[in-house]
Amino acid sequence: MNRDTPTLLSQVMGMVPMVQTLNIEFIDFEPQRAVFQMADQAEFRDQTEGIDIGALFTLGETAAGALLFGNFGDYLDRVTPLMAGGTMTVDEVARGTITATATMVPTPAEILKQVDAGVRPEWSVDVTLADEHGTVTGRVVAAMTLRIN
């Protein structure tokens, strides 16, 4: 990891404004894995009495964004990290504390090698959303890129 944890958290808080609103909490970070958590809050439930899909997507986006800024935040003079798109699927109604675990397959070094070659890299970050019992409630796939400055 290129970024220290306080700097990473500060960047994520600044880049994903809903983090504070939804009370999303940092759990863990490694170069190819980030974990964040969100407690069930009555004000963010939908008509099913589960957590609203918008809040769940934001939780997934936060975990994916942590990988983006945690790995490439030191290179902002060379690249602009961007989430180019995202999709979400829902497997179960999400209730209780939800944990988002984001993983990416290419290593940061592999991605930077593309930048060094003048190629704008694109890759996916897969995020699994699971409740406190380990039941997968949904998945987010975030399309990431680094725009070369």
Q: Please identify, in words, the CATH class of the domain defined by 5-148.
A: alpha beta
| Secondary structure class of 137 (helix, strand, coil) | strand
**Per-residue pLDDT, 1:** 44
**Alpha carbon of 140 to those of 86, 98, 119: distances in Å?**
7, 13, 26
**Per-residue pLDDT, 69:** 86
**Per-residue pLDDT, 3:** 56
Sequence ranges of the domains in the chain: 5-148
pLDDT in tens, the chain (149 residues): 445 666 766 766 677 778 889 999 999 999 999 999 999 999 999 999 999 999 999 999 999 999 998 899 889 999 999 999 999 999 999 999 999 999 999 999 999 999 999 999 999 999 999 999 999 999 999 999 999 99
Nearest one of 129, 126, 131 to 144, comparing CA atoms? 126
**Per-residue pLDDT, 4:** 65
| Secondary structure class of 20 (helix, strand, coil) | helix
**Per-residue pLDDT, 46:** 93
Nearest one of 128, 46, 139 to 90, comparing CA atoms? 139
Predicted structure pTM score: 0.91
Nearest one of 5, 23, 16, 6 to 81, comparing CA atoms? 16
How does 115-127 read in b/e, with b if 16+ C-beta sit within 10 Å? beeeeebebbbeb
